[in-house]
Amino acid sequence: MPDLLIELFSEEIPARMQARAAEDLKTKVTNGLVEAGLTYSGAAGFSTPRRLALTVHGLPEESPLVREERKGPRVDAPEKAIEGFLRGTGLSRDQLSIRDEKKGQVYFATLETQGRPAAQIVSAVLENVVRNFPWPKSMRWGSGSLRWVRPLHSIVCLLSDESGAQIVDLDIDGLQAGDSTCGHRFMRPQRFLVSSFEDYTAKLKRSFVILDATERAESIWQDASNQAFALGLELVEDRGLLTEVTGLVEWPVVLLGRIEDQFLDLPPEVLRASMKEHQKFFSLRNPKTGRIEYFATVANRETADQGATILSGNQKVLAAR
């Protein structure tokens, strides 16, 4: 049974919209597939600043044959009523069956709808979802009519099984679905081919992109906590900030900076509020004094100087605040 992989690759998606968008993509695509007759065994949606992705497991190769029985007029009904029933069903009179009921003999029609290939259904469902996606805010670009949260650059849409992968035939405003995507904007921007969800996630990680937001958040929190512990400090918990920062990076790199002595005696609440609101910094607290002595910032890339330039710039901005 084939699995489905979808990626919608765009310019940066606002962090506050990502989780809802990933859930909307999963819900709307899977609902559309089920309505068209394709069941599935499992599905999961993902988001990063530059992509929405969806995997759907265990799809059938085609939708099932559907039989519908439709009750018509009585055999002795006016001819116009019978002709109307025939037009509505697309059948001839000799294709109808007759059954005895309490009020007399009645015509019945049995209608059969042939199953459609999964690729054909996926194409129609995904195009409808993309064109009607419920972004809180969206935009148009270029000369096309498509609206998206930010310009949409490419679409991956694959059905894969043990025998290989099939690109789903889909074109939305000139964007042809394919089997390639990009890695990290700065660290590995080259395009590469993918053949399944497992292949996709593995190659993304080798290209400095962690697809799963939960994994990115855990990486940020664990790394920041470990670095704080090494300095004898504790990371001040802020799950809301963690969620926001997770939506700003595809490859999180935690950097610690020291707060200048002249600001150490400021009330901890003032420092925390300023750093969170303006710089998206986490606060590191001295458990003995309660003072905020360091901050943690999360960069979206590794650098040759181990983040020294990034930290220097952040410290200057913090001092100016």
CA distance 261 to 52: 43
Q: Which of helix, strand or coil describes residue 301?
A: coil
Q: Give the tens place of pLDDT for each residue, 275-309.
A: 888 899 999 999 999 999 999 999 999 988 887 78
The pair of three-digit structure tokens given for residue 239, joined into one six-digit string: 């799950």
The residues spanned by each domain of the chain are 3-62+116-206, 66-113, 213-320
CA distance 63 to 112: 13
The predicted pLDDT at position 278 comes to 83
The predicted pLDDT at position 318 comes to 66
The predicted pLDDT at position 107 comes to 95
Q: Are 227 and 263 in contact (CB under 8 A)?
A: no
The predicted pLDDT at position 305 comes to 85
The pair of three-digit structure tokens given for residue 108, joined into one six-digit string: 């019945």
CA distance 116 to 120: 7
Q: Are 182 and 296 in contact (CB under 8 A)?
A: no
CA distance 265 to 185: 40
Residue 282: count other Cβ atoms within 10 Å of its Cβ: 27
CA distance 39 to 241: 38
Helix (H) or strand (E) holding 56: strand 51-57
Q: Are 64 and 115 in contact (CB under 8 A)?
A: yes
Q: Are 224 and 254 in contact (CB under 8 A)?
A: yes
What CATH fold (topology level) applies to the domain 3-62+116-206? Alpha-Beta Plaits (3.30.70)
Long-range contacts of 178-183, Cβ-Cβ distance < 8 Å, separation of 24 or more: 178/154, 180/154, 180/156, 181/7, 181/9, 181/51, 181/154, 181/156, 182/9, 182/154, 182/207, 183/207, 183/208, 183/209
The predicted model scores a pTM of: 0.86
Q: What is the mean pLDDT of each run of 10 residues along the chain (321 residues)?
A: 96 97 98 95 98 97 89 93 93 92 92 90 98 97 92 97 94 96 96 97 98 98 97 95 97 94 80 87 94 94 84 67 54
The predicted pLDDT at position 317 comes to 65
DSSP for 94-133 reads GG-EEEEETTEEEEEEEEEE---BHHHHHHHHHHHHHHT-
The set of residues, in sequence order, having a beta carbon less than 8 Å from that of 93 and lying 6+ positions away, is: 82, 86
